[in-house]
Structure 1
Amino acid sequence: MKLAVLVSSGGAAFEQVARIVRHDGVDFTVITDRGCGAEVVAGRVNAKHIRIEERDRKLFSTKVAAALQDLRVNNILLFFDRLVSSELFDSVDTFNIHPAALPAFKGLRGVEDAYEAKARLLGCSLHRVDQSVDGGELVSQIACGADPQWPLSRWQKRAYLMKVYCGLVWVNQAIHIEAPDTPVNASHGLPEGWMASFRELQALEAETVV
């Protein structure tokens, strides 16, 4: 199965997703818009890499869509700090992971905004991308308790783990492993091997989010 990720950061969450599903026949392409850590990650997980340096949103989205068409990839996940346009999300299935329990705390500072609001719940949402900002159809969400007295770094670590989990849900649905409709914080029908690897990652980070 061919899947793509659009990344503008270090790519840590994507790297864990790729490592957990590496034996399940997923062929990843990493697309970036600048030099970033995700390009190094692509090499570590044996993913293809394409850099598209274009600042205009519509032109960038058009070029990404064209690259995916050439690769015959019709499903892409965003770990991205820019908005994309309909030239992309009208052409291929486009999803985003937002580090908050939407519709709360939309925008680029989901974790920081929740922290500053002294929220007691930290969430993460997988949703379809449309013309709105973090307003597309929700695919799945997870949530865990949070303490305003914790340092922001702990909130960010938990958000990282939840991004990995939602990334696994995205892959699971894309490769059509049957997953029943499930409530918040259920396993979403993820393969047990993936869940075992995710639990190991949680133990390594000394945090539990699911």
Structure 2
Amino acid sequence: MRVVILASGNGTNAEALIQAQKGRSYQVVGLASDQAQAKALERAEKLGVPTAVFERKSYDSRLEWEEAIVAWCQSMKAEVLVLAGYMRIVGKSFLEAYPNKIINVHPALLPLFKGKSAIEDAYKAGASRTGVTVHLVDEGIDTGPILSQEALDVDPEWTLEELEERIHQIEHRLYPEAIDRFCQERQ
């Protein structure tokens, strides 16, 4: 299935998805970002994936901005949207254009530690176990149906940076596997 990645930042998950696509049931056909300086754009371009930038400030309304991104995704013939460090709430335009076909990775075992600071929140809470969740996106924040999860037992001696590194290692392996399985089930 044809996949477009939406990313806002560094792009390590996007890079992992692109590098892992060979022999899988998904093909990354584009990457769109809401940040012109996102490292994800450079990573995708180096791997031969077309990119586009849609900065919110360039549009009169949120709706116009979302519709521009959706139109680009549709022009790329995307069948599934994959969020990889996309730091925006996905709005109605996306949900209507891609119902039950938007996937996100979250660096915690949902429903625990929702939101954008999940790793730090788990660390500060002294969680003995956390992990990674891959889920479908719905109207809520980190509330969609769970597709896959993997737990990680936390060593109390780890620094926040060590926990982040271990979470990212799981993401880079689990996310491509979950997307592959999702696409296989829909072909």
Give the TM-score of the pair, scaled to structure 1: 0.78
SS in 2 for 1:15: helix
Q: Which has the higher contact order (CA 8 A, sep 6+)?
A: 2
Cα 1:151–1:2, aligned 2, differ >3 Å: closer, same or farther?
A: same
C-alpha deviation, 1:27, in angstroms: 3.6
Question: Residues 113-132 of structure 1 correspond to what in structure 2 (within 5 A)?
Answer: 113-132=121-140
State how far apart, in whole Å, the 2-side matches of 1:124 and 1:110 are. 10
State how far apart, in whole Å, the 2-side matches of 1:96 and 1:118 are. 25
Q: For residue 77 of structure 1, what is the amino acid of its counterpart?
A: V
Q: Which residue of 2 aligns with 1:28?
A: 29
List runs of 5+ in structure 1 lacking aligned partners.
179-210
Identical positions, percent: 25
List runs of 5+ in structure 2 lacking aligned partners.
none
Q: Deviations over 1:71-130 (max 9, x none)?
A: 211201112111110110221111111100000000110100000000011211111111
Cα 1:166–1:50, aligned 2, differ >3 Å: closer, same or farther?
A: same
C-alpha deviation, 1:69, in angstroms: 1.4
C-alpha deviation, 1:166, in angstroms: 2.9
The number of residue pairs the alignment matches comes to 178
C-alpha deviation, 1:64, in angstroms: 1.6
Work out whether residues 95 and 138 of structure 2, in 8 Å CA contact, stay in contact via their aligned partners in 1: yes
Q: For residue 169 of structure 1, what is the amino acid of its counterpart?
A: E
Question: Residues 39-58 of structure 1 correspond to what in structure 2 (within 5 A)?
Answer: 39-55=41-57, 56-58=61-63
C-alpha deviation, 1:23, in angstroms: 4.9
SS in 1 for 2:150: strand
Q: Which residue of 2 aligns with 1:64?
A: 69
Alignment counterpart, residue 105 of structure 1, candidates 113, 125, 128: 113
Work out whether residues 13 and 161 of structure 1, in 8 Å CA contact, stay in contact via their aligned partners in 2: no
Work out whether residues 57 and 84 of structure 1, in 8 Å CA contact, stay in contact via their aligned partners in 2: no
- The answer to whether residue 96 in structure 2 is matched with residue 77 in structure 1 is no
State how far apart, in whole Å, the 2-side matches of 1:172 and 1:18 are. 12
Q: Which residue of 2 aligns with 1:150?
A: 158
SS in 1 for 2:184: coil
State how far apart, in whole Å, the 2-side matches of 1:70 and 1:54 are. 20
Work out whether residues 14 and 167 of structure 1, in 8 Å CA contact, stay in contact via their aligned partners in 2: no
Give the TM-score of the pair, scaled to structure 2: 0.87
User: Which runs of 4 or more aligned residues in structure 1 lie more than 6 Å from their structure 2 counterparts after TM superposition?
Assistant: none
Q: Which residue of 1 aligns with 2:40?
A: 38
Q: For residue 87 of structure 2, what is the amino acid of its counterpart?
A: D
Work out whether residues 109 and 133 of structure 2, in 8 Å CA contact, stay in contact via their aligned partners in 1: yes
C-alpha deviation, 1:174, in angstroms: 4.4
What is the RMSD of the two structures over their aligned residues, measured on CA atoms?
Answer: 1.9
SS in 2 for 1:150: coil
- The answer to whether residue 97 in structure 2 is matched with residue 91 in structure 1 is yes
Q: Deviations over 1:105-160 (max 9, x none)?
A: 00110100000000011211111111111001111111111123211111100111
SS in 2 for 1:90: helix
